[in-house]
């Protein structure tokens, strides 16, 4: 075929594909336009997760009648004039692509009025072509209605997920903007029901309470202004940017004076969780750069790093971190959806975030920070009775957890004989374990055991996770998961996203022993939980589950169900730092021997290290 320039409608559909991925991207772009237009009140309505209809209404500056159609041309914007402006962008939009892209793949009705004009304007487009234009009354501001998204792109339409899933993505974007702009009143409704409203009080904490609930919102620590400047090579240059940075802070960002970094002009503000409050994944770390939500693995890591040694392994903080910096030091024009940014000096930003968060934790943490559990600090001695008492309880628990009960004395004897004679296990599976004899516990974290083939150092937490995981899934297969009904059903208020995720998977959860039901708003009522986590707080379990659902299938767990099971088992498993009685360890090792894959935990980490007889002999030069 000869080379041709694509017809305009084909080109714009292709371009639209980059900006409009799903209903939530439409919401994002339209809300950004409201914010850029100086709105104070933004209303978002969606029907069928936005597949059928999305309407975003604002009280911003509006578009002059004679410019409305122009706004729908590709690369038409009021926010940028020269390429030079790209270097210091202070608005959320600047590419002039959103309206054109949205219009190319839906039916759009745009009604707007500028405060000075007597009457407003309505323009309707279908698949990018204007089908109606007329005068129209409305209060100053703009209302954009987007219907039948992807009506003309069947391939894209097919890829849309269930309304519930699409709705969840919309919720996620809305809460991000509510956090970034606490002075805005943002209202979200789905299918006619208001599901979220930010108070518009200009206080980020108020927004966080609206998003995460009172308990979490109140517990979060506000990032405190730091003192240490970051040293950079080009100090003079940086000093210039400080001044720029201040001047250029748009009015809606001025409340962000936070953790200052004098040398780089970087300010870090926001809230972070105290070390006692954590999550199963990084999904609750929300980052903004100059009022723009960004995905940035490195900055996320900076936050996580600040908690170094303060959180249990595999747990992550909840954080909302606002970075403000001179616009010329960050390139936002990296990605059509503008979700990624590039820093001129990423190290400086990394350090600023990490320091601000660490500083806050050390200064504000309400609880003394112990890097090791107390049990590990005082082994033996006066700790002994406590350990005995605890381990008694734990023994009972372990029995309940593994569901296998104690062995009969006869079995026990056989087991010991086999272990003592160091006979290789008969009929052992390739992955299986020979019978092991427990020697003791080390560092309240590892179990030392010996077997016919040498010494085994077993990670008690990982091993227990493996045992519980296999057991839970086996019970699930037989639809016989042990479930524990709570004495009193517990109402748990969740973040809107978490709530809708859980609501979406009630059936899956019931198969795993949960009995949960919607309880109005974003509250779920927990009636029963899998027996193995009966001791944990219902809120904690639900949040774990939501986190697992959010991440979705993890390769090792196989299915979404597996991912949830994995999370439940992680919560239920004995932790590192817990003293274990001999009988408990024996019970654990024995159940581990019966596992199909005893050598790795469900996350794929090893449960044990094996030192073979030959290895030992070699090391000792025998």
Residues binding ligand ADP (CB under 6 A):
29, 33-34, 36-37, 58, 60-63, 71, 76-79, 93-100, 142
Name the 3-class secondary structure at 147.
strand
Binding residue for Mg ion, selected from 24, 42, 56, 98, defined by CB under 5 A: 98
Nearer to ligand ADP, 252 or 422 (CB): 252
| CB atoms inside a 10 Å sphere around CB 492 | 24
CB of 33: closest distance to ligand ADP in angstroms? 3
Q: Is 275 in the site for Mg ion (CB under 5 A)?
A: no
Which residue has the closest beta carbon to ligand ADP?
Answer: 93
Residue with tokens 């079995």: 411
Size of the site for Mg ion (CB under 5 A): 3
CA-based nearest residue to 573, from 314, 376, 278: 314
Maximum distance among all Cα pairs of the chain, rounded to whole angstroms: 99
Instruction: Choose between 338 and 351: whose C-beta lies nearer to Mg ion.
Output: 338
Which residues have CB under 8 Å from 479's CB, separation 6+?
511
Which two three-digit tokens encode residue 341? Answer: 């940014």
Distances 27 to 30, 31, 358 between C-alpha atoms, Å: 5, 6, 34
Distance separating alpha carbons of residues 456 and 450, to the nearest angstrom: 6
Q: Measure the CA–CA gap between 258 and 261, rounded to whole angstroms.
A: 9
Give the span between the Cα atoms of 524 and 540, in whole angstroms: 13
Query: Is the Cβ of residue 76 or residue 594 nearer to ligand ADP in the bound state?
Result: 76
Least Å distance, CB 38 to ligand ADP, is 8
Closest to Mg ion by CB, 98 vs 153, is: 98
Which residue's CB is nearer to ligand ADP, number 336 or number 451?
336
DSSP string of 78-100?
SS--SGGGGGG--SS--SS-HHH
Nearest distance, CB of residue 99 and ligand ADP, angstroms: 3
**338 CB neighbour count, 10 Å cutoff:** 22
Is residue 320 classed as helix, strand or coil in its secondary structure?
strand
For residue 111, which phi and psi values (nearest 5 degrees)?
-120, 130
Least Å distance, CB 114 to Mg ion, is 17
166 binds, among ligand ADP, Mg ion, none (CB under 5 to 8 A by kind): none
- When asked if residue 336 is in the footprint of Mg ion (CB under 5 A), the reply is no
Binding flag, residue 112, Mg ion (CB under 5 A): no
Minimal distance in Å, beta carbon 60 to ligand ADP? 5
DSSP code of 600?
Answer: B
Identify which range of 95-103, 413-421, 427-435, 495-503 contacts Mg ion by CB under 5 A.
95-103
Give the pair of three-digit tokens for residue 543: 């949040």
- The minimum distance between CB 46 and ligand ADP, in angstroms, equals 17
How far is CA 121 from each of CA 42, 79, 94, rounded to the nearest angstrom? 19, 21, 23
For Mg ion, the binding residue among 13, 33, 187, 230 (CB under 5 A) is 33
Least distance (Å) from ligand ADP to the CB of residue 324? 21
Give the other-Cβ count within 10 Å of 178's Cβ: 27
- Number of neighbours of residue 79 by Cβ within 10 angstroms: 15
In the bound complex, what is the minimum distance in angstroms from residue 92's beta carbon to Mg ion?
7
**Which one of Mg ion, ligand ADP, none interacts with residue 494, CB within 5 to 8 A by kind?**
none
Residue 95, binding choice from Mg ion, ligand ADP, none, Cβ under 5 to 8 Å by partner class: ligand ADP
Judged by beta carbon, residue 15 or residue 262, the one nearer ligand ADP is: 15
Residue 93 binding Mg ion, by CB under 5 A: yes
Whichever of 185 and 238 has its CB closer to ligand ADP, that residue is 185
Q: Of ligand ADP, Mg ion, none, which one sits near residue 35, judging by CB under 5 to 8 A according to partner kind? A: none
79, interface contact from Mg ion, ligand ADP, none, CB < 5-8 Å by kind: ligand ADP
Judged by beta carbon, residue 33 or residue 290, the one nearer Mg ion is 33
Nearest-approach distance from CB 99 to Mg ion, in angstroms: 7
Helices (runs of H) and strands (runs of E) counted in the chain: 21, 23
Options 96-104, 140-148, 175-183, 462-470: segment touching Mg ion (CB under 5 A): 96-104
Q: Which residues contact 158 (CB under 8 A, 6 or more apart)?
A: none
Nearer Cβ to ligand ADP (31/564): 31
* Binding flag, residue 435, Mg ion (CB under 5 A): no
Q: How far is the CB of 93 from Mg ion (least distance, A)?
A: 3
Angle between helices 496-504 and 163-180 (to 10 degrees): 170
Neighbouring C-beta atoms of residue 262, cutoff 10 Å: 15
Residue 85 or 614 with smaller CB distance to ligand ADP: 85
Residues β-bridged to residue 161: none
């Amino acid at each position: 075929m000869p080379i041709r320039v694509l017809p305009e409608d084909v080109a714009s559909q292709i371009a639209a594909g980059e900006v409009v991925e799903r209903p939530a991207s439409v919401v994002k772009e339209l809300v950004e336009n409201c914010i850029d237009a100086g709105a104070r009140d933004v209303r978002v309505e969606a029907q069928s997760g936005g597949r059928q209809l999305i309407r975003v209404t604002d009280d911003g500056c509006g578009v002059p009648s004679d410019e409305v159609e122009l706004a729908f041309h590709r690369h038409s914007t009021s926010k940028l004039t020269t390429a030079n402006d790209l270097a210091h962008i202070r608005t959320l939009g600047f590419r002039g692509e959103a309206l054109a892209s949205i219009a190319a793949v839906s039916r759009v009705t745009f009604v707007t009025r500028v405060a000075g004009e007597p009457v407003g304007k309505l323009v309707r487009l279908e698949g990018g072509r204007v089908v109606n234009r007329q005068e129209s009354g409305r209060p100053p501001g703009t209302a954009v209605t987007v219907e039948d998204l992807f009506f003309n792109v069947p391939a894209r339409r097919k890829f849309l997920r269930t309304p519930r899933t699409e709705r969840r993505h919309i919720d996620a974007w809305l809460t991000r903007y509510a956090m970034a702009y606490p002075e805005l009143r943002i209202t979200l409704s789905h299918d006619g029901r208001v599901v979220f409203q930010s108070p518009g009080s200009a206080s980020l904490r108020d927004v966080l309470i609206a998003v995460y609930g009172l308990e979490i919102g109140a517990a979060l620590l506000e990032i405190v202004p730091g003192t240490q400047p970051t040293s950079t090579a080009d100090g003079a240059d940086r000093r210039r940017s400080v001044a720029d940075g201040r001047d250029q802070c748009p009015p809606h960002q001025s409340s962000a004076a936070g953790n200052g970094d004098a040398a780089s002009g970087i300010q870090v503000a926001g809230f972070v969780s105290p070390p006692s409050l954590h999550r199963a994944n990084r999904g609750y770390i929300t980052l903004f750069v100059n009022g723009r939500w960004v995905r940035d693995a490195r900055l996320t890591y900076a936050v996580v790093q600040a908690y170094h040694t303060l959180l249990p392994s595999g747990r992550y903080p909840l954080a909302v971190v606002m970075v403000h910096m001179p616009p010329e030091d960050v390139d936002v024009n990296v990605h059509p959806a503008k979700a990624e940014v590039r820093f001129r000096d990423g190290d400086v930003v990394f350090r600023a975030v990490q320091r601000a968060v660490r500083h806050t934790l050390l200064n504000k943490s309400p609880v003394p920070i112990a890097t090791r559990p107390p049990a590990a600090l005082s082994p033996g001695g006066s700790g002994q009775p406590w350990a005995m008492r605890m381990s008694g309880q734990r023994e009972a628990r372990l029995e309940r957890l593994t569901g296998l009960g104690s062995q009969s004395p006869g079995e026990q004897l056989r087991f010991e004989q086999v272990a003592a004679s160091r006979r290789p296990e008969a009929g052992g599976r390739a992955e299986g374990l020979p019978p092991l004899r427990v020697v003791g516990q080390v560092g309240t974290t590892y179990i030392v055991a010996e077997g016919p083939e040498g010494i085994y150092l077993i990670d008690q937490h990982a091993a227990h996770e493996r045992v519980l995981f296999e057991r839970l899934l086996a019970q699930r297969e037989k639809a016989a998961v042990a479930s524990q009904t709570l004495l009193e059903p517990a109402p748990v208020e969740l973040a809107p996203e978490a709530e809708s995720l859980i609501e979406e998977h009630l059936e899956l959860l019931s198969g795993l022993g949960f009995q949960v039901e919607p309880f109005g708003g974003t509250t779920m009522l927990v009636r029963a939980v899998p027996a193995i986590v009966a001791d944990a707080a219902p809120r904690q379990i639900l949040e774990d589950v939501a986190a697992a659902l959010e991440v979705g299938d993890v390769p090792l767990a196989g299915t979404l169900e597996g991912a949830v099971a994995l999370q439940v088992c992680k919560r239920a498993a004995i932790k590192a730092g817990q003293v274990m009685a001999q009988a408990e360890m024996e019970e654990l090792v024995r159940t581990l021997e019966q596992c199909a894959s005893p050598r790795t935990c469900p996350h794929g980490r090893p449960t044990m290290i094996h030192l073979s007889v030959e290895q030992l002999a070699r090391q000792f030069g025998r």
